[in-house]
Amino acid sequence: MQRPAAVPSLDAYVDGVRSGDRAMLARAITLVESTKPEHSETAQRLLQALLPSTGGALRVGITGVPGVGKSTTIDQLGMNLIAAGHRVAVLAVDPTSKRTGGSILGDKTRMSRLAQEPNAFIRPSPTSGTLGGVTRKTRETMALAEAAGFDVVIVETVGVGQSEIAVADMVDFFLVLLLAGGGDDLQGIKKGIIEIADMIAINKADGDNVIRAERAAAEYRAALQILNPPSASWTPLVLTISGRENKALDVLWAKIQEHRQAMTASGEFELRRQRQAVAWMRDMLHDRIMAGVLSAAQVAARLPALEADVRAGRLLPTLAVDEILGLAGIASGRTLR
């Protein structure tokens, strides 16, 4: 029988990640993603030790509905960046399988060329079915990838839920990929995604689809005129691209760099990073408080009955929350007169 691999020490994790050891980086990500209490302390000590080595990468969020060509585009963009001397990490915010609890997108099979590159690292980040899963796991994985020397971190979302908003709040640049001729070219505005986009790219602008893509781009440019831009230093752009044919991806990357220069010059880049760090702290605080409340013995014993009363309409949810907080020894913040 094969013996299980020895658990690395904290120093081994730190040295391995800083040296760019891909196997150790993968193990470190598994450590911070673990929900086991015995792993939490080591994970946080690891992240704290690596903190001085983080923050140097350009963080790019990319979203789009299934079928828009995200994987093809990221695969080609990543290859272009590696050819230009960059090291690229792709973190795919994955919907978690309800049955197995694992990631279900299979990113390495969808980005076959990039997966074989020694200067690329692809990692699905399962959400565990919650938006909080997106923010905690992806932020920590991003920090580890930066500490390992990856200078471009791409965060891909599946484009079917609210995870896009969470990802937009943790990256430097947010790109929305759309298709022309889908029957509703302005569907993105309905979800509010367009309002937070730094760029819109109409993908698959090749072959017979070029004219439709240009028409869709014109419609989005007109729509953006009536929306408030996310930054006073940057006006969102609309491009037509083809990830499959590597068309205009060089222009796309040049605009991403131009955005960083503009935001850095105005001071917004650093302010955004500072806000993201505080938001990370608040999200972690929320998660820890929730975990602490739900793990309290008195709460665990009383919770099923409270949920049954709320479900049946016998108890107001706010009063149930007050009782839960009281059982956990936390002030509810409400003053009864």
**What CATH class does 1-52 carry?**
mainly alpha
Q: Which two tokens stand for residue 71?
A: 């994987």
Q: What is the pLDDT of residues 294-326, one digit of tens each?
A: 889 999 999 999 999 999 999 999 999 999 999
CA 102 centroid distance within chain: 17
Q: What's the rounded Cα separation, in Å, for the pair 60 and 173? A: 5
- pLDDT for residue 102: 45
236 close to 275: Cβ distance less than 8 angstroms:
no
pLDDT for residue 125: 67
Tell me: the pLDDT tens digits for 17-40?
999 999 999 999 999 988 787 888
CA distance 275 to 267: 13
DSSP 194: G
pLDDT of residue 168: 86
Angstrom distance (rounded) from CA 333 to CA 337: 13
Helices vs strands, H then E, count in the chain: 14, 7
Considering the chain, what is the average pLDDT of its residues?
Answer: 85
Q: Residue 101: what pLDDT? A: 46
Instruction: Give me the pLDDT at residue 3, please.
Output: 54
Confidence of residue 164 (pLDDT cuts 50, 70, 90): confident
* Between 44 and 93, the higher pLDDT residue: 44
Model confidence at 188, pLDDT cuts 50, 70, 90, reads very low
Of residues 134 and 157, which shows the higher confidence score? 157
> pLDDT tens-digit profile of 53-97?
999 999 999 998 888 999 999 999 999 999 999 999 999 876 554
Task: Report the distance separating Cα 115 and Cα 94, nearest Å.
Answer: 17
Q: Is the pLDDT higher at 287 or at 30?
A: 30
User: What pTM value is reported for the model?
Assistant: 0.85
CA angle 325, 294, 277 (to 5 degrees): 90
Query: What's the one-letter identity of residue 248?
Result: A
How is residue 47 written in tokens?
A: 């992240």
Least confident of 39-53, 81-95, 124-138, 220-234: 124-138
Give the three-state DSSP class for 229.
coil
Residue 165 · residue 141 · CB < 8 Å = no
- Residue ranges covered by each domain of the chain: 1-52, 54-266
More confident residue, 244 or 109: 244
Give the C-alpha separation, 30 to 89, whole Å: 16
Distance CA 257, CA 198 (A): 12
The alpha carbon dihedral of 203, 89, 152, 157 has a sign of positive
- The C-alpha atoms of residue 146 and residue 89 are separated, in whole angstroms, by 9
DSSP string, 234-273: B--EEEE-BTTTTBSHHHHHHHHHHHHHHHHHHTHHHHHH
Architecture of domain 54-266: 3-Layer(aba) Sandwich (3.40)
| 294 phi-psi bin (left φ>0, alpha ψ -120 to 50, beta other) | alpha
Query: Is 54-266 the same fold as 1-52?
Result: no
Higher pLDDT, 222 or 107: 222
The label of the residue with tokens 């698959």 reads 204
Of 274 and 135, more confident = 274
Tell me the mean pLDDT in the region 146-168.
84
**Does residue 259 carry a pLDDT above 50?**
yes
Structure tokens given for 183: 């029957």
CA distance 113 to 79: 8
What is the CA 184 to chain-centroid distance, rounded? 26
- In the block, tokens 């197995």 appear at 100
pLDDT of residue 284: 82
